[in-house]
Amino acid sequence: MVNLELSEVEVRERRLKSIISYHGTGQDLCERSRNRQLTLTERSFGQCSDCSQGCGQTLTYVIRGAAVIDHAPIGCSSGAGAASLTVDVSARARGLPPQEVHVLSTNIQEKDTVYGGLEKLRATIYEAKRRFDPSAIFVLSSCAAGIVGDDIESVADELQEELGIPVVPVFCEGFKSRIWSSGFDAAFHGILTRIVKAPVKKQPDLVNVFNFEGSDTFGPLLGKLGLRANYVVPLADVETLEKLSEAACTTHICETLAMYPAAALEQEYGVPEVKSPPPFGVQWTDNWLREVARLTGREEIVEDLIQSEHERVNEELTQVREQLKGKRIYIFAGDSYAHSIANMLLDLGLDLVGITTLHHDQTTDGGTESLDSLGNLVASKGEIGNYSVCNKQPYQVFKLLKDARPDILIVRHMNMTITGAKLGIPTMNDGDVNISAGYDGLVRLGKRLLDALKTKKLFENISRHCESPYTTWWLEQADPFFFEKNTGGDSAADTDDGEL
């Protein structure tokens, strides 16, 4: 049950019983998750992490016409440069007008952690209004602001009234959650509580599509059912967000990103969530289309559409499958989307030698079983023999890949391509998730993999010039999960710690 009366949404480890460490099989993880048997445990050695504020930034920085204030030390805004580079390119690729990010930092310093940073925040909100004349201002909290207890909500309330635009506090302090995706929920909670309005006029042909800054692939697919894609929240403007409640239904590219706002829109405004896996892979696209059609009253035309789409892509799909058959592939990506990629790769006939996801939610918002993406994957494609959860620890992934020896690695974050490159494994970053959606997306993914396989020599060359940063001790360790503690696995790490 979503509670929009509260200032903050609970972090995932409490709300969804999420975990960041596991190794075993897909089926086992499904079964143990059903009873919430697994507890959030840590590694005794951590090399790196992301943070919730980063996920909050990923969504809010790229809302058209809004301004964002990182109430934080300046280093927390390091993502602003990358967002500036990508947002305009993404907007143009989507056929939208040019777009800029409008980000300011309060630059919290030592003195502010003693005397508080609220005066700085107030001044920065006025400055954002003066410079950008935004239609909304998001205030993102940080570790420093959270630790000293700056009451950003009171300042937001006060200035929202004075400035006459939504001033949205986003509680995404990095230290608060071990699951950085909690930052998505924090940003959505702010949007749901301060921006989304009750519907004025329902739009029966509008489908909310929660996504990142991806290509326009849902639009053409939904268009075949006479529907329009309402892409949110990146690249959307504040007015579009206000009307999320007017849509006929809500779908998303993965549960990890958007099951929270989808559940909230259904509960608060009766906008039903498409409760079948997203359209990645043939069967999942069939089922997704059927569910969208059911929710929008288009059952009569959907079966013909599915049949004609199958016929249209059949020849190309068969060719791609023949060329990819038997190639060994490893997936390293966020929770739900990793399952969607796996479903597509198995559809393409590849040999899936392992999956590592960045965290695992043991349940979904609303507890809907049909949204359990791992359950759906295991049900449709069978057991995943080599399955692990690891919050991006290169030292661990290095060993996992060495053991699995894939022909190709597919990742969802650019920085994770480096580990594959160091090992000489052709590595493909699946950055634009939308591009693989639908029947055409599956064919496109197959062709992109075939292109990536041609880079084998390049990656082998890179590997020859890379020195491993790890000690012989670690490289000779048999167990990649040596530092994993108390997960119920059979790791040797319960009693012994080593050094990298």
Residues found near ligand SF4 in the complex (CB under 6 A): 51, 53, 72, 76, 142-143, 173-174
DSSP 290-345: HHHHHHHT-HHHHHHHHHHHHHHHHHHHHHHHHHHTT-EEEEEE-HHHHHHHHHHH
Looking at residue 487, what DSSP letter applies? S
Nearest approach, Cβ of 145 to ligand SF4 (angstroms)?
8
In the complex, what is the shortest distance from the CB of residue 148 to ligand SF4, in angstroms, rounded to a whole number? 13
Q: Smallest distance from the beta carbon of 315 to ligand SF4, in angstroms?
A: 49
Find, among 393, 353, 422, 359, the residue nearest to 483 by Cα: 393
We find the least distance from the C-beta atom of residue 67 to ligand SF4, in angstroms, to be 19
Q: Extract the tokens encoding 6.
A: 């509260």
Q: Which is nearer to ligand SF4, 51 or 125 (CB)?
A: 51
What DSSP character marks residue 9?
P
Q: Which of helix, strand or coil describes residue 386?
A: coil
Closest CA to 368 of 298, 272, 290, 233: 272
Q: How far is CA 316 from CA 61, 151, 204, 347, in A?
A: 39, 57, 34, 13
Q: Which is nearer to ligand SF4, 52 or 343 (CB)?
A: 52
Q: Which is nearer to ligand SF4, 147 or 458 (CB)?
A: 147
Residue 79 Cβ vs ligand SF4, minimum distance, rounded to whole Å: 9
What span, in angstroms and rounded, lies between the C-alpha atoms of 131 and 112? 24
Q: Which is nearer to ligand SF4, 170 or 411 (CB)?
A: 170
Closest CB 174 distance from ligand SF4, rounded Å: 2
- 336: closest CA among 368, 374, 366, 367? 374
- Segments in 423-455 forming alpha helices (H): 438-453
Distance CA 405, CA 27 (A): 23
Number of residue whose CB is nearest ligand SF4: 174
| Residue 143 or 259 with smaller CB distance to ligand SF4 | 143
* Minimum CB distance to ligand SF4 smaller for 53 or for 357: 53
By C-beta, is 49 or 380 nearer to ligand SF4?
49
How far apart are alpha carbons 99 and 89 in whole angstroms? 9
Show the tokens assigned to 166. 């939504």
User: Is the CB of 169 or the CB of 441 nearer to ligand SF4?
Assistant: 169
Distance of closest approach, residue 254 Cβ to ligand SF4, in angstroms: 22
DSSP-assigned beta bridge partners for residue 70? 105, 140
CA 159 → CA 122, 135, 144, 156, 461, distances in Å?
A: 8, 13, 22, 5, 57
Q: How many DSSP H helices and E strands does the chain contain?
A: 21, 13
- Cβ nearer to ligand SF4, comparing 143 with 222: 143
- Integer Rg of the chain from CA: 23
What H or E segment, with its residue span, contains residue 228?
Answer: strand 228-232
Per-residue tokens: 109: 């310093």
- Strand pairing class (136-140; 167-170): parallel
Minimum distance of ligand SF4 from residue 54's CB (angstroms): 6
DSSP element (H, E) containing 194? helix 182-194
Q: Provide the minimum distance between the beta carbon of 177 and ligand SF4 in the complex, in angstroms, as a whole number.
A: 10
Q: Which residue, 173 or 273, has its beta carbon nearer to ligand SF4?
A: 173
Q: Minimum Å distance from CB 395 to ligand SF4? A: 20
Token pair listed for 409: 């690695």
Rounded least distance, CB 232 to ligand SF4, Å? 24
Using the minimum distance from each CB to ligand SF4, give the nearer residue, 43 or 71.
Answer: 71
| 3 state DSSP class of 136 | strand
Residue 103 CB, shortest distance to ligand SF4, in Å, is: 14
Q: Which is nearer to ligand SF4, 51 or 170 (CB)?
A: 51
